[in-house]
Each structure stands twice: as structure tokens, then as C-alpha cells.
Structure 1
Amino acid sequence: MTGAVVYALEPDLAADAFQGVLVASGLAPRRPADDLERLGRMLAASDLIVTARLDGRLVGVARTLTDFAFCAYLSDLAVARDVQGRGIGRRLIAETRAAAGPEVSLLLTAAPGIEGYYEAIGMTRVPQAFRFDRER
């Protein structure tokens, strides 16, 4: 892996490619990674999918739901473990923000233990957020 990381919008990202990044990143246990049909529905309903490729290999994905006018929810940020620490996650977030536009606020839910990463890159913790957990 010697080339530059290439970032792109990939609205038609395949479910099996997304699955591979979820597994490589360690995020698979927190997602329905064993259900390609469900991953496909997740991708199809996404408004913004930003990818990172290194030497052609998909190493990162940022999957977002947004109205491109006011708000965006960055639902999945996955970077393969073997390339973490190279700024790929930070750049995926920056590319997502740029594509969503300057009028849009970006919200995400951090995986347990990762909160410090988001604070370190300048995101503000939002203690007023609420949610209902998935039933399945």
C-alpha cells in the first residue's frame, strides 16, 4: 500500500464491498454485517456515501442520511484497522461535510470507547441527544 488515498462519492457502492469495510474496521459486530440484503437497503436509502480507496482497495466508508439543507446524520464511519491513524476517518468526515454543504450540521453516534477521537478532531459532544434502540 504505497499510493495516495483517493476519496470519492460512490452512491452505488455494493453491499459486499461495504460489508468488507465493516469487517476490516471492526465495526461489523455493531452492524448487520452478515445480512447483505439489509446492508443493501441501508446503502440504497443513503443520501451520501463517501469512500476512501488505497491502491484501489476500499479502506473507508462514510454513510450519511441528509436533506442537504439543514441536517445530516453520519450513520457509519468505517476505516480498515490496518490503515487507521493515517487521517482517513478525519478526511472522510471532511469530504462528507463538504458534500452536504455549509448550511448542514453533522451529527453522529460514537461507538463506545471512541468518543475521544471525535473530540480530538474538533467535534462537539452533544449531551442533549436521545434515541430509541433498535428492536432487532
Structure 2
Amino acid sequence: MITYAREDGLTAADYIACVGATSLGQGRPLANTDRIQAMLDNADLVVTARDADGSLLGLFRAVTDWHWVCYCIDLAVVEGQQGKHIGQTLLDTATALLGPKVSIVLLSKPNAEGFYRHIGMVEPMAAFMRPRTDRS
């Protein structure tokens, strides 16, 4: 049985173990525990998927105004657990917590675009980014 819930206080160690077991981990500063903890502490919404023994199977991390838009920063499901609807259920749980007036926006990794299309997300016409200069 998998439990999906909003989780305040997710630890950097749990995040690193989960995201590090996905292709998303390659783009995150997993060696910098303090930065990871700051990223978690400053997120507005973290939803987790945990199995019966408490192991973290996946997570959704976002910033939101709770009234118009939610920017999903991470949607990660550990290798070996993908294909079990965990990612979609994390998004569904976040959607329920946010309510029907809030859109969820995210940037997809190129190899994950098919997943988002498959679950019914739509592609915006344009996205722009000012890259960070510190990648540590």
C-alpha cells in the first residue's frame, strides 16, 4: 500500500535518496545537503508517496500562491517504481490540495514529455528561463 500525503519537514537525506534514484537527480545539487535542505524549507508544497515501511517512493515539490498557479519544481519517482501511476497520483494529490482554481505548471525533462502528454497535461506555447549562474 502506498500513502500519498502533504509532508512538511521532508529531510534533505530523504530527498537526496529519492531524487538521486531518478534521472532528475543529475540536474540537482545533491552533494550540497545545506542547499537541498534550503530548497525543501522554502517550498510551499511537498507531497510524498511512501510505501508501508515508510520508504520514500516519489515526491512532488512546488512553489505556489495557492490561488492561481503552482510551479512544480520536482516530480520524481524512484527507478523501479515508475510505471505504477505514482507520478500521476502525486500530481492528482497536489491538485486536490491546491483546489480547482490553481493550475500546475512544470518544465519537463526531454525524455519525460510523453508521460505528461499521456496523463492529459497540455503544453504551453512558450517558456523562458534565465539560467542560474551558480550550479553548486
Short-chain TM bin: over 0.9
What is aligned with 2:25? 28
Give the alignment of 1:45-60 within 5 angstroms. 45-55=42-52, 56-60=54-58
**Runs ≥4 residues deviating over 2 A:** none
Distance (whole Å) between structure 1 residues aligned to residue 61 and residue 117 of structure 2: 20
What is aligned with 1:106?
A: 104
CA shift for structure 1 position 28: 1.2
Identity %: 38
**1:67 Cα deviation from its structure 2 partner:** 0.7
Matched, 1:77 2:75: yes
Name which of structure 1's ranges 126-135 and 82-91 shifts more when overlaid on structure 2: 126-135
Of 34, 39, 50 in structure 2, the residue corresponding to residue 37 of structure 1 is 34
Q: Structure 1 unaligned runs (5+)?
A: none
Number of aligned residues: 133
Correspondence 1:8 to 2:1: no
Secondary structure, counterpart of 1:24 in structure 2: coil
In 1: Cα distance, 2:125 partner to 2:29 partner? 27
TM (norm. structure 2) is 0.94
